Structure formats: C-alpha cells, structure tokens
Amino acid sequence: MTKLSVNINKIATLRNSRGGNNPDVIKAAIDCERFGADGITVHPRPDERHIRYTDVYALKEAVKTELNIEGNPREQKFIDLVLAVKPTQVTLVPDALNQLTSDHGWDTITHKTFLIDTIQKFKSHGIRTSIFVDPDLKMIEAAPETGTDRIELYTESYAHGYTKNKKSAVAPFIVAAKKANELGLGINAGHDLSLDNLQFFKQQIPALLEVSIGHALICDALYYGLENTIQLYKRKLT
C-alpha cells in the first residue's frame, strides 16, 4: 500500500499566527501517527514562517514512523539541519527564497553536478534521498545520474487538470512513472493531492511508494476531524 506522509506545516502556521504553542506541533505529529499516518513531512524555510528549525530537532525524537524533511539544499542551514537530524528521507526542492509554495521540479540536466554533490552528502549519512521533479521524461531520464533513490512527482498540474479531464491530466504522470520504474527509481508524489483526486492518481501510477499531503488534509480536518481525515486519505490509497 502507498504510504501517507502527513505534512504538518499548516499546523505550525496556525501556531505561529498567535505565538505560544497552541496547537502543539509535536503533539500533532504524534497524534497523526497514532491516527494512522505512515510518516511525517516538514518543509522548514529560511524565514521559519511555519515549521521552525527547533521543531525539526524535536520531531526527530518524537516521530516513530518516518520523518521526511523537504527543502532547498542551496541553503547551508538546511544541509546542516538534515545532517544533524538524520531523517529517514530528505526531499530536495528547488524553491526560491521566500517562495510561497513549491511550484516546479529540478532541472536534473542543468543542475546535475550540484545534485550529485549534494545527494552524496546525505547518502553518506544513510539518509534516503528524493528529488522534486515535473513529469518530464528528459528530467526523469537524467535523475538516476544524480544518485537519488527516489523522485517526487510534482502533481500540481494533475490536480489542476483533474476536474476538466482526469485521464488527460494523469497521462504524463503515467508515462513518467513507467520510465522511473524502468530506471529503478522509487516514486513519491505530492502537491495539491486531495480527497477528490488522490484515489484516481493512486490507481493510475504504478509502484507509487508514498504521497506527502498537507494543505488539503489539514483543511479537511477542520470539517471531519484529524483522525477521521487521516483514515479517509488512507482508504483512498488502498
């Protein structure tokens, strides 16, 4: 079964909006695991507008499933954090400074040397690596040369096109996933996946190992409750 990693950034955003420690990000992560999450994802940014670096250190001690840290490895502070915490997985995302949210994958050809050097740093410490990519065959074909263990398919275009023509929207992701499988790359996916579009995506993508979902899941939890929402998402992945 495809694993569900819950991104808890939005819980940290809510906490930070008022100061203090309500909601408690660490307790939320523990509860997400207790409610059935297979992992916890965080994406600390340099301005710490949601997840703080101190949160990540605390989560390393609290998370019992898998901890996935996302971020831009061009920031030395990010690299130092990952090497200190040693999460199960690090997902490399080519975010610009102060970017609102991730909106594109790596150019694995142009940035090949940088990715090789960076990925080797993490893998030498036993950390599984994944890189954010668009469903572009050229980018996926070049990905194995970077040394990455997995790719994370950036699914915003699928989510955007799903309501118009779901078969057309998922088509490039099927092609991309098949190529990744041929090349021996593990496949993760994330961005704008929701209760509406997740099941169809899962059914169409061969050997999908993990999805990372935050914004939609936390929004749904406002109506359905966190425990019930996690179970609803898990059922979409069976």
With residue 16 as reference, give the H or E element that holds it.
Answer: helix 9-18
Residue 96 has pLDDT above 70, yes or no: no
- Compute the average pLDDT of residues 152-158: 97
User: Which residues carry out catalysis?
Assistant: 43, 70, 191
Arch. (CATH architecture) of 3-236: Alpha-Beta Barrel (3.20)
Cα torsion angle, 189, 209, 184, 171, sign: negative
- Compute the average pLDDT of residues 172-189: 98
Please say whether the beta carbons of 57 and 85 come within 8 A.
yes
Averaged confidence pLDDT in the chain: 95
Question: For residue 101, what pLDDT is reported?
Answer: 55
Residue 104 has pLDDT above 90, yes or no: no
What whole-number percentage of the chain has pLDDT above 70? 96
Residue 24 has pLDDT above 80, yes or no: yes
Question: For residue 105, what pLDDT is reported?
Answer: 83
What whole-number percentage of the chain has pLDDT above 90? 94
d(CA 56, CA 76): 16
Question: For residue 167, what pLDDT is reported?
Answer: 98
- Compute the average pLDDT of residues 206-233: 98
C-alpha separations of 163 from 158, 196, 223 in Å: 9, 9, 22
- Compute the average pLDDT of residues 155-165: 97
pLDDT band for position 214 (cuts 50, 70, 90): very high
**DSSP track, 156-203:** HHHHHHHTT-HHHHHHHHHHHHHHHHHTT-EEEEESS--TTTHHHHHH
pLDDT band for position 4 (cuts 50, 70, 90): very high
Residue 221 has pLDDT above 60, yes or no: yes
- Compute the average pLDDT of residues 115-127: 97
Over the stretch 44-69, which tens digit does the pLDDT of each residue have?
998 899 999 999 999 999 999 999 99
- Compute the average pLDDT of residues 132-161: 97
Please say whether the beta carbons of 105 and 154 come within 8 A.
yes
